Amino acid sequence: MKSASKCRELIKKDRFRSLANTASLFFYLSTLTLTILFCSHLLYHPTNTKYTPNTHIHQFTQTTSIQPRLPDSENCDLFKGQWIRDATGSLYTNHSCTTIPFLRNCFLHGRKDTDFLQWRWKPDECQLPRFSPDTFLTTLQDKTMAFIGDSIARNQMESLLCLLSTVETPKAVEKDAEDRFTTWEFPKHNFTLMAMWSQFLVASTERVINGSATGGFDLHLDKVDSKWSEKLPSIDYAIFSDAHWFFRQNYLYEGGNLIGCVYCQGPNVTDLGPGLAIRKAFRAAFKAINDCKNCRKIISFLRTYSPSHFENGTWNTGGGCNRTVPIGRDEVQKGGPDWDYRKIQMEEVETARNAGEKSGKKFEILDVTEMMSMRVDGHPGVYWGNRWMKGYSDCIHWCLPGPIDVWNELLLELIKRQIKTEAGL
């Protein structure tokens, strides 16, 4: 009996030691696992340890933590979404990209905050892939892309030039005396990138009174600006941008006859407002593309109205844009002129799209109005180094690098969709 009792006691002790050893081993392995995970986090996500959330911002995701996987962007609405925190930042800097123009180089002119670079556009129903310069250049190998229109068209082209420069150095091959028409080539991919300045898209002449330029123009709404239209046969992709130049005293002509004006108070002339002029200008531009017999099957994109963000005045009455973070989507005021111009642009694209079915021309929308309405923080403001207009803020264009870079992410996705559609995929 004593032997059996002693055996049972030894068995209990062995079990206790086993359990104790197991617990120690479990604790050791758990501690080791957590240590490895924490070190991995530090090694591969160093920026997350430095990020301090801004408590004044609402309706934005505050971290770049792992999100549930969403469908790719192939079928979702890329333009409905919100800006989320992303510590990754831009692909380029104002030091790494040597082609950033003087007036868009906000850091050069003293901007200190960098928070406006820590946001990423997130569509509601899918993921928008980060811009891949290699994918862009491979997809558009042997192609020519032109940005046609105002200085914001040029702004987007300059963003794309910087993004692509991260993988291949571009070669400047053409520039006119006024730097309004520029051409760059990426020799390894035989890709050509162009900017064509045309502030109205249609033929225009500045009005001169007593030998002095007035800043107002005569616009011939039924005649496209030949400086860009004559280059159409060499273009595969055209990105159009226009609107802001119409907000001045302009006189409108059709068939050589004065039909009205914008912001004028002259006798016997009807003020038709900028909306009609914008509509007719895009209509004429798209008609020129559809009527072009010796053109390639051009794919045209209209980038919708890019809002300005002047506060406490206009550009010439002391208005500025000093915010350093975006506003939430619920703060965007839909309606009003900005949205009217967007609607006009979208209607003209639809009209051109229907007409282009016969000629093989394609027309698409790059709808940035809502997303950029939130980016009150992305303009140069006072940081644009203009020696001739000191005290004036630029709340129309966009800093480089800056939120305008997302336009080219969206452009690449739209091009990839178009190629898949044509291939029947």
Active-site residues, by number, are 151, 394, 397
> What's the Cα-to-Cα distance from 22 to each of 17, 26, 36, 382, rounded to whole Å?
8, 6, 21, 66
Count of positions (residues) in the chain: 425
- The C-alpha atoms of residue 260 and residue 270 are separated, in whole angstroms, by 5
* Largest CA-CA distance found in the chain, in angstroms, rounded: 128
